[in-house]
Amino acid sequence: MTNGLNSMPEGSAKGRKRLGYAVLGLGIGMAHADAAYASDNADLVAVCDKDPGRLAKATEKYPGVTAYADFEELLRDDRVDIVSVCLPSGMHADFAVRCMEAGKHVLVEKPLDITPERARRIEEARLRTGMRCGVVHQNRFNVDMTPIKQAVDSGRMGRLLLGTFAVKWYREQSYYDRGGWRGSWAMDGGGSLMNQAVHTVDLMQWLMGEVESVTSTMGICNHRIETEDMTASLIRFRNGATATFVSTTCAYPGISTEIDLYGTRGSVEADGDCLKTWRMMDAEDEDAEEAAMLEAYGGGNMKAALSDPARKFGHDHVVEDMICAVRDGRDPEVMPADALHSVEIVHAVYQSARTGKTVFLTHE
Ligand SMILES: NC(=O)c1ccc[n+]([C@@H]2O[C@H](COP(=O)([O-])OP(=O)(O)OC[C@H]3O[C@@H](n4cnc5c(N)ncnc54)[C@H](O)[C@@H]3O)[C@@H](O)[C@H]2O)c1
């Protein structure tokens, strides 16, 4: 079994082997490849895609990288320690499990897969093979999420009462037509919620806790697709809190990602990576504290990166975390078990919308 930590040549940086990185699927996979190529701790050694045009583009961009059209050949490449699985969502479990069984550590794109059962297979394979497995939910590392998560977890906001989440994005019809698999139940597993808003579902459950039940509706409002381009849900949490969650890809031209939390002792509101409101009852001077917080966290990742160029966001952060996790023998920041609940929630929303009934999530 290939294990980067057991086969480190002497004389390399920090006495450790530079890990071999590979990317499977070269759409968003190019962001993974960019990050691995730029990393000080890994070498991008291979890319794999069945599309020759995408492979050619990658080999031109990353000279010296081996291009595979066949996944089986990638699996046999002993230089590869870590594989980013960036295939259509309904293929994640099949390919991530094969990678781990072949002794590769795996970083899986979101969603973990398109059903809870398939997503669980990834966690089972991780436990069975002992390989490291991370999941791309990069919005947890947006600049504004650190103080928001701290305010919730420290109890500073008091007891959470209400969350309102709205992912008001826009996708043209050509977006769905281009990918083939997008907007299909078989491979996308849903539409605006499973594909676009699953990031915000992840943030919701990370901030507010385990979901107990969902009551939802959905529709295909303005696209020719099989799945949905609008969902609206009422969500109840095990801790007694309530949330509303709206997702759409019909909000021209793409408006906002609202993440709003209201507790007994404070309120925060954000639009994606930009903090908008920060009101804490226990602040010495509420206005001054809010002004300072908006100055620090109101400008989003771009502004934060300008003031600290070493800081990584988005895929750069997640890929580097995966590499360092393997190098240091620790778990990555987001694990399959962390990502599974989002798939369960999305699945419950679809079930509720189809049946017109409240769906209760079971917890093992
Ligand atoms: N984290 C994010 O912000 C983010 C952004 C976009 C997409 N994604 C996720 O990444 C995944 C891929 O999305 P995308 O937009 O890049 O899709 P895409 O269709 O652009 O790319 C998928 C690639 O996989 C290749 N492929 C399919 N089957 C293959 C096989 N058997 N062997 C080799 N290559 C194969 C295709 O040729 C294609 O190039 C999805 O799960 C999506 O949800 C995540």
Distance 47 CA to ligand 1 centre (A): 13
Distance CA 292, CA 284 (A): 13
Distance 283 CA to ligand 1 centre (A): 45
pLDDT, position 364 = 59
Higher pLDDT, 153 or 18: 153
Whether the per-residue pLDDT at 114 is higher than 70: the answer is yes
Q: Which atom of ligand 1 is nearest to the CA of 195?
A: 43
Higher pLDDT, 2 or 196: 196
* Residues found in the chain: 364
Write the CA distances from 13 to 17, 40, 321, 354, integer angstroms.
Answer: 7, 9, 17, 55
pLDDT, position 15 = 46
Where are any strands of DSSP class E within the chain? 19-24, 42-48, 66-68, 82-85, 105-108, 133-135, 160-168, 211-219, 230-237, 242-248, 256-263, 266-271, 274-280, 359-360
> Residue with the nearest Cα to atom 30 of ligand 1?
50
Q: What Rg, from alpha-carbon coordinates, does the chain have? A: 21
- Tell me the three state secondary structure of residue 240: coil
Q: What is the pLDDT of residues 242-295, one digit of tens each?
A: 999 999 999 999 999 999 999 999 999 999 999 999 999 999 999 999 999 999
Q: What is the pLDDT of residues 141-200, one digit of tens each?
A: 999 999 999 999 999 999 999 999 999 999 999 999 986 899 999 999 999 999 999 999
Domain 140-308+343-360 has CATH 3.30.360.10: yes
Domain with CATH 3.30.360.10 in the chain: 140-308+343-360
pLDDT, position 11 = 33
Query: Average pLDDT over the chain, rounded to whole?
Result: 94
Distance 61 CA to ligand 1 centre (A): 18
- Residue among 87, 94, 176 whose CB has most ligand 1 atoms within 8 A, to mutate: 87
Higher pLDDT, 294 or 308: 294
Separate counts of helices (H) and strands (E) for the chain: 12, 14
Distance 210 CA to ligand 1 centre (A): 29
Q: What percent of the chain has pLDDT over 70?
A: 95
Domain with CATH 3.40.50.720 in the chain: 4-139+316-335
Whether the per-residue pLDDT at 12 is higher than 70: the answer is no
For the domain made up of 4-139+316-335, the CATH class stated in words is: alpha beta
Q: What residues flank ligand 1, with Cβ below 6 Å?
A: 25-29, 48-51, 54, 71, 86-89, 109-110, 136, 138, 179, 195
Distance 293 CA to ligand 1 centre (A): 37
Q: What is the pLDDT of residues 188-242, one digit of tens each?
A: 999 999 999 999 999 999 999 999 999 999 999 999 999 999 999 999 999 999 9
- Residue among 83, 89, 109, 249 whose CB has most ligand 1 atoms within 8 A, to mutate: 109
